[in-house]
């Protein structure tokens, strides 16, 4: 059972999948093994390519935890596309370039299902509340296009309350990200 608004928004996300080429799951690096919503796997990225982004990497000991976390997800969860970000530090553009490279590689090399005639790419950004989904969208927009914030972000849950319109983050190829509200694991 979900809180009602989360269940409704998860269904909206499922409905938008036919217009999506890739799913990015933003995850808080501080709760790397326990803070994911398993219902995303069956409902969202079992049918689309998927990147797992650990945000807030500045808040953990990367030397100690990065390798074991990646090893766990590669071996136990079979997730191979993993990136690490700190969306509050836009001066380290390499972290965002790694994510963009993986994203563009998947977008160009995966089957596009019913979107083969489209010349643009659309990516859905999902995760539980307060993992930095909106911050990631704004950071990628800033780094790639040098534009300001496009989606509202905040240090409290519920800032994004419904699936948002798409935000352009890249001109060539035209690439858009879709912000979504945080959805917790059903209880």
Tokens for 97, please give them: 């370039």
pLDDT of residue 59: 95
Task: Identify the CA nearest to 180 among candidates 45, 30, 33.
Answer: 45
Nearest-angstrom CA–CA distance, 164 and 77? 29
| Cβ neighbours around 75 below 10 Å, total | 9
pLDDT of residue 157: 62
Partner residues linked to 24 by β-bridges:
51, 125
Can you give the residue ranges of every domain in the chain? 4-179
Half-sphere exposure of 83 (CA within 13 A, CB side): 20
pLDDT of residue 136: 94
Q: Which CATH number fits domain 4-179: 3.40.50.720, 3.10.450.50, 3.40.50.2300, 3.40.50.300?
A: 3.40.50.300
Segments of the chain with pLDDT less than 70: 1-4, 114-117, 152-163, 187
């Amino acid at each position: 059972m979900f809180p009602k608004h989360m269940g409704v928004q998860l269904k909206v996300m499922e409905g938008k999948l036919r217009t999506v080429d890739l799913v990015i799951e933003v995850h808080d690096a501080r709760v790397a093994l326990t803070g994911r919503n398993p219902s995303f796997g069956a409902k969202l990225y079992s049918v689309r390519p998927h990147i797992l982004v650990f945000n807030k990497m500045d808040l953990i000991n990367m030397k100690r935890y990065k390798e074991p976390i990646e090893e766990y997800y590669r071996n136990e969860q079979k997730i191979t596309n993993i990136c690490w970000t700190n969306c509050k530090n836009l001066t380290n553009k390499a972290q965002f370039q790694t994510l963009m490279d993986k994203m563009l590689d998947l977008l160009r090399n995966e089957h596009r299902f019913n979107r083969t005639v489209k010349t643009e790419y659309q990516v859905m950004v999902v995760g539980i509340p307060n993992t930095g989904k909106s911050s990631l969208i704004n950071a990628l927009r800033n780094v790639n296009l040098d534009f300001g914030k496009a989606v509202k972000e905040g240090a409290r849950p519920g800032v994004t309350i419904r699936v948002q319109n798409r935000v352009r983050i890249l001109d060539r190829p035209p690439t858009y990200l879709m912000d979504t509200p945080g959805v917790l694991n059903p209880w």
